[in-house]
Chains A and B, each alone.
Chain A
Amino acid sequence: MQRYFRLVLFAAVMLVVLAIPVAAVLARSYFLAPTAQPVKAQPIQFPHQVHVQGMGLDCTFCHRGATTSAQATIPALEFCMNCHKIVPWEGRPDLERLVEAFQSGQTIQWNKVHQLPDHVHFVHAVHLNFGFQCADCHGDVGSMGKPGVKQVRDLRMGDCLTCHQQNGARTDCSVCHY
């Protein structure tokens, strides 16, 4: 034993040292800890708080696809400009960026916050039709101001299945995976 003591000690130390970066990478990975992610940087720091709490807008006022289709959809710039053409934008960098993009005919490349893998097909409309509220999965987005939206719910398969079982929804694989 005495003979191998230094070897065993070396191996133990190496294991600990190697485990640290592995654990650090895993802890930051999206699919192991979806809710522990830092808020994603967006091209425009869009404050939901101002629009929902300040203006009293409903989620589906802008996310129009949510009640009728699979995707909740992010509104087109034209839609933003319906209101923002009368909102003063000078000296407000985020709004200037919006107007500039609109005038030059570009789109805003938003970063997706709630990511599902490509082999999962989630349909917003049927969930809302069943009686769920947006906040059941997305949290109180209305109180999320700058810098942006944070994911509050796990949204991994276990989460989906638990909810499907509790509400008597189908749990066939092909309901979501095809």
Chain B
Amino acid sequence: MPRWGMVIDLDRCTGCGACVVACQAENNVPINTEDVYHQRRAIEWIRLERYWEGEYPNIKARYIPVPCMHCQNAPCEPVCPVYATYHTSEGINMQVYNRCIGTRYCAINCHWHVRFFNFWEPKWPDSLKNQLNPNVTVRSRGVMEKCTFCIQRVVKAEHQAKLEGRDLEADEFTTACAQACPAEAIVFGDLDNPNSRVAQLVNSAVNERGYRLLEDLGTEPSVYYLKKIDPEAAAEEHSGH
């Protein structure tokens, strides 16, 4: 049984936003307009957080792509009154759209703000109607949605392996965001398979420069970040800036 996980190398990330666009296309995420952002109701299964390091003129833009962390002790799961969000045996935090009644407790309990509520019926311009992914449900108004680690690709790869009578191979497929990343900053795979890139990164690089977002909450996220500490910025941080 695989245990899916992700490593995001922030030293490679250039903040181009390809992962966001790829995710939007793969998972039938509706197009967010400007006023939707103003209302803080934009749906982005993976989003780019930007922050600044240093002060002008010695300033650096930094980016963190934030998908769902797929916590092993997910705070969103126990609060759902109808069990619409649950953990699969493969370590993916899933949202069952047809079971969701839209209480939004899960979104409130999520520290990473990676759960999104459909406040409206999703809409696409006519020119994009034919690009919807038939393997992903279009979520209707009133249900919660979130990153699924591209479960449709997971299921497809598992079925293909079953049809060919073999086990899943390491890095046989990847998520849309990892596939689109030009810098190969995002790596997705089976944490339990020693041959997969993600497991090798977790065993090596994560020890040197790895962390998980809000790790001290103890929710055991499945997404690891790699980031070399910038000594200059760290020094400035300590000197009170």
Contacts and interface: CB of A to CB of B under 8 A. Distances in A.
Contact of B88 (A119, A129, A174): A174
A101 interface: no
Contacts of B97: 119, 177
Interface of A: 68, 70, 117-119, 121, 123, 125-126, 129, 170, 172-175, 177-178
A177 B162 CA distance: 19
| CB-based closest 5 A-B pairs | A119-B137, A174-B94, A173-B96, A178-B151, A119-B98
Contacts of A178: 94, 136-137, 148, 151-152, 155
B155 A121 contact: yes
Contacts of B137: 118-119, 121, 177-178
Interface string B74-95: 0000000000001011001010
A172 B89 contact: yes
Contacts, number: 49
Nearest to A175: B155
Interface string B148-161: 10011001000100
B209 interface: no
A174 B5 CA distance: 17
Nearest to A68: B163
B153 to A, nearest CB: 10
A70 B92 CA distance: 22
B163 A129 contact: yes
Contact of B138 (A68, A118, A175): A118
B31 to A, nearest CB: 19
Interface residues of B, number: 20
B88 A172 contact: yes
A125 B88 contact: no
A178 B94 CA distance: 8
B50 interface: no
27 contacts: A68-B163, A117-B98, A118-B138, A119-B98, A121-B135, A121-B152, A123-B155, A123-B159, A125-B159, A126-B163, A170-B89, A172-B88, A173-B86, A173-B96, A173-B99, A174-B88, A174-B92, A174-B94, A174-B151, A174-B155, A175-B155, A177-B96, A177-B97, A178-B136, A178-B148, A178-B152, A178-B155
A156 B185 CA distance: 43
A117 B152 CA distance: 16
Contacts of B135: 70, 121
Contact of B162 (A126, A172, A173): A126
Nearest to B164: A129
Contacts of B86: 173
Nearest to A176: B155
B98 A125 contact: no
Interface in B32-88: 86, 88
A118 B92 CA distance: 21
Contacts of A125: 159, 163
Nearest to B151: A178
B94 to A, nearest CB: 4
A118 B151 CA distance: 16
Nearest to A157: B98
A173 B89 CA distance: 11
Nearest to B165: A129
Contacts of A119: 97-98, 137
Contacts of B94: 172-174, 178
A177 B155 CA distance: 11
B193 to A, nearest CB: 20
Contacts of B162: 126, 129
A154 to B, nearest CB: 17
Contacts of A117: 98
Instruction: Choose among B97, B148, B163 the residue with the greatest number of A CB atoms under 10 Å from its CB.
Output: B163
A175 B92 CA distance: 12
Nearest to B148: A178
